Each structure stands twice: as structure tokens, then as C-alpha cells.
Chain A
């Protein structure tokens, strides 16, 4: 049995990578495989949630929000605070889903058992957005495959993700 290329444990995942025209064989143990697949997942472009909606403000303040739940800043669009939302049970505007994403995730998980939309998509959604949607979906599938130790499926998904990312990279330049 081959040993993991990164540590000494037995390898369970065998990957043939083609990067920049070079063929490279990789043998990884379970934990390194998880790490590896997460790396390649994280390597993609960050989801550009409403990049045009005053990201600066949110970016600055979300760090503070992570550390303490009670000081989650108000939504820059509608001014509602997370506390107000908890009190009345209704959000103030669509942007709250971005502004309070970290706080909403556990709540959504609790209500729906899921946190990723898989239903209908507006037909008018811009191409890039639909592309992004597919990527997110694939990344989630990848995560699930890794969690369930379905490494062949995971490798296939990872290739598909990389293909899509490459496509987006070349197609996005105007």
C-alpha cells in the first residue's frame, strides 16, 4: 500500500493532476485528502455577493461582528440590526442576507435543514450569476462527497469546478 505523499499514513486517494501541462501523481491519506480538496475548493474566486453594494463598509465591520454577536453592525442598506430582526422575526431588506449571513446561517440550518438554494433561478439572472450559482452548487456537493468519504466522486467534482473556474477566468475579461 502506498503511503500518503504529505504524511506517513496509508494513502486512500490517488489523483493524477495535470497542471500547466505536467502530469503529477498524488497519493493522499484521508485527512490530507480532505485538506487537499478543501484547498482546491478555497482556491476558487470568492463568491462576489453583491460586490457593488458597499462591500467596504461590510468588510470592515464584519470582523467585529464575528467576535461578538451583540455588536453585529446594522445593515448598511436598510439600517435594521440583527437584534431588531430577532425581536420581530422579519428582515428589513434583501441585503440583510449578506449583512447578517454569519448569524443567519445557523438559523436557516435550523429551519430548513439546509443552507443552499437548489430550486428555480430567475431566467433573467445574468450569465455570470448563473455560472456562479453552478459553482456554489458543485462546491457544496464536493464538500458533501468529502464528508461522506466518496473520494472518487470528490475528485470528479473538483475537476468540474476547476474547469468552470477556468472558463469563468477566460470568459470574464471584456
Chain B
């Protein structure tokens, strides 16, 4: 896979084509699976890791979905390239930072990623634009079936699919929806939402999953328990609760516009102004301003920009992306200048049609 070519494109899931994609950036389902006869990656020697990788890489290539996937050998990549794939949400930090032979199969649309030798032998994920959990499940379930038809997964009648961490055992499923909630953050209502979600056993995380800060008002809502409930039931819990959050965010936005249209219009326009004219800008400030502009577009306060462009900027302005784009390593100060250049260029040139 030509990683440099990716710097000019974006994943299908960023294109805001799915249902409710004004608020729901993406839907994602991942499954954790392990081979029955091998130790988990963290306990496997380098030789055993190599065996596992070879075996699973072969199985992935043979499966129907796998034929379209490009396989990237992660241990052969430089740190910057690994970071680049993390920023694109194609691999996890764990896979990036792990050691030994490991890899990932990625679909050309960047909506399927099958990671080998992550925390578990196989971590499969399907991403979709907007609120589309059922489609994610249908796809990942089929991929799982295809691979399972030729390997023996570690499975027990009592504990289901066996995983390196007991928090994933059972279904091995993590169902998550990435939401953009600037209205609820602005009105400080977001805390209430978190509390309500925690009560029904759902976790709230930032853009890059576990332990990451909520950047740009993005929040990932996902299931915590994986044992004792069926996949459909877990999906349903999230599927049922998300519309309430969407309605809440929309209600808050409407109220904000009604009560203080001028203030809000001023705020989002200034955000756009800063993005268009800054000469140096940090990643954090970028996220913050992009979030305002994104909401401004959705509220009809900003007209000459499209949501997919904004979505792409969230990803493309991150450190590894900027450095890949410039083909050079840059320190923070240089990156801040490069980031400002890139944003200026993207916001003044008509959006690309890819």
C-alpha cells in the first residue's frame, strides 16, 4: 500500500454520506478473535508471533473480503508511518506500539481494517459514515464467518470468544459511534449525557479511544460489557440510545440559534476567520476551531464550505499527516506553521471532489 498516496485522500467514512452524519461522524464495530492453539501476542515469542502473523495473513488473503485488502507489515514501517495510520483510525495505538511481527489488512475505501498481533491475534473492524451500526455488523459478521471457516478460534461454551483481556471476552465486540457534540459541550449539558450513558453501561471516550482526550467536541460512545449479552442486543442498546443524544444536541443547537443567533454567528465566523488566516496554529486550537465551523455549517451559518472537507481537516491536520504531506520531519513550531499553511490552502481552494 502506498501510504504517501493516502495523504491526498480520505476514508469513505469521513465523507458524511451516512444517516445523521451532521452529528454522527462514524459508526464502528470491532471483533476480537484469537487462534485456539497459540499464546496471546503479549506472551508469544517473536518466533511464535511470526507464525501467527503468517497464518492469519494467509487466511485473510484467502477470504472474500481479504481479496480486496492491502496488507501492510507494521513492523516494517517507520514510527511516522505507523502514527499516520493511527491518525487515520486504520490501526490502534496498541498495534502501532507493540513489537514483533504484526500487520494490518486495509480496504481501499479504508472502511475495513483487520489487525494481526494486536492485543489479540486478530482485531477486525468495520467503519461507516454516519449512524449505520447494522451495516457495520452485517459486514464484520460476514468477514468473521469467512475467516472462521478455515481457522479454529479460541472459544469456550461458557466464556465465548477468549481474549487476552477479560474485559473483551464473550462476544469480543466493541460497538462504537463517534459523535460531534459541540452544542452539548457549549451549554455544559454534556455531563448529564455521560452520567445517563454510564448508568446503562456505556462508555464515553475521546476521538482516539481509550484514555484519549475529547478533542474537537468528539465523543465515542461504546459498550463496556462483552459477556452475557448477544451481539444484536449490545448493538441495540447503543442503537436505541443514540437518537436521544442526537435529539438533545439538535434541541440545544436550535435553542442556541434562537436565543443568541448573533453571538453564535459571530463565534463560528471568527473561528473560520482564524483558520483561514492564521500563520501558525496548534493541533488543539485547530480541533477547537474546526468544531465551531463544523457546527456553523450544520446550522446554516456558514455556506461556502462542506462537511466532508471539515471532517477531512480533523484528520489531515494531525502531526503525522502534516509531516507525510511535507515529506519531512518537523518539530512542533514548524508543524504549527505547516498546519496553518495547509488549512489556509484547503479553505480557500474549492473542496476536492474525491
Contacts and interface: CB of A to CB of B under 8 A. Distances in A.
Interface of A: 47, 49-50, 77-78, 80, 88-94, 97-98, 104, 107-108, 111-125, 129, 132-133, 136
Interface string B96-134: 000000000000000000000001000000000000000
Given A92-B40, A98-B156, A115-B158, A122 B148 contact: yes
Contact of A91 (B157, B166, B171, B201): B166
A36 B17 CA distance: 59
> Which 4 residue pairs spanning A and B have beta carbons closest together?
A114-B228, A117-B160, A94-B154, A92-B43
A90 B228 contact: no
B39 A93 contact: yes
Interface in B120-177: 141, 144-145, 148-149, 152-167, 169-171, 173
B153 A49 contact: no
Please indicate which of the listed interface residues A90, A113, A122, A123 has the most CB atoms of chain B within 10 Å of its own CB.
Answer: A122
Given A47-B157, A47-B158, A88-B42, A94 B34 contact: yes
Contacts of B153: 122
Nearest to B170: A117
Contacts of B34: 94
Interface of B: 34, 36, 38-40, 42-43, 119, 141, 144-145, 148-149, 152-167, 169-171, 173, 201, 224-231, 234
B157 A111 contact: no
A116 B158 contact: yes
Contacts of A91: 40, 43, 163-166
B226 A112 contact: yes
Given A114-B225, A124-B149, A90 B165 contact: yes
B169 A108 contact: yes
8 contacts: A90-B119, A112-B225, A114-B225, A115-B227, A119-B230, A120-B230, A122-B148, A122-B152
A112 B155 contact: no
A133 B157 CA distance: 5
Contacts of B145: 123
A104 B166 contact: yes
Contact of A97 (B119, B159, B201, B224): B159
A6 B185 CA distance: 65
A107 B169 CA distance: 12
Contacts of B159: 97, 108, 115, 117
- Of the listed residues B159, B161, B225, the one surrounded by the most CB atoms of chain A closer than 10 A to its CB is B159
A17 to B, nearest CB: 28
A132 B156 CA distance: 10
Interface centre among A89, A111, A116 (most CB of B within 10 A): A111
Given A114-B227, A118-B229, A119-B173, A78 B156 contact: no
Nearest to A94: B154
A108 B159 CA distance: 9
B35 to A, nearest CB: 8
Nearest to B119: A90
A90 B34 CA distance: 13
Contacts of B39: 77-78, 92-93
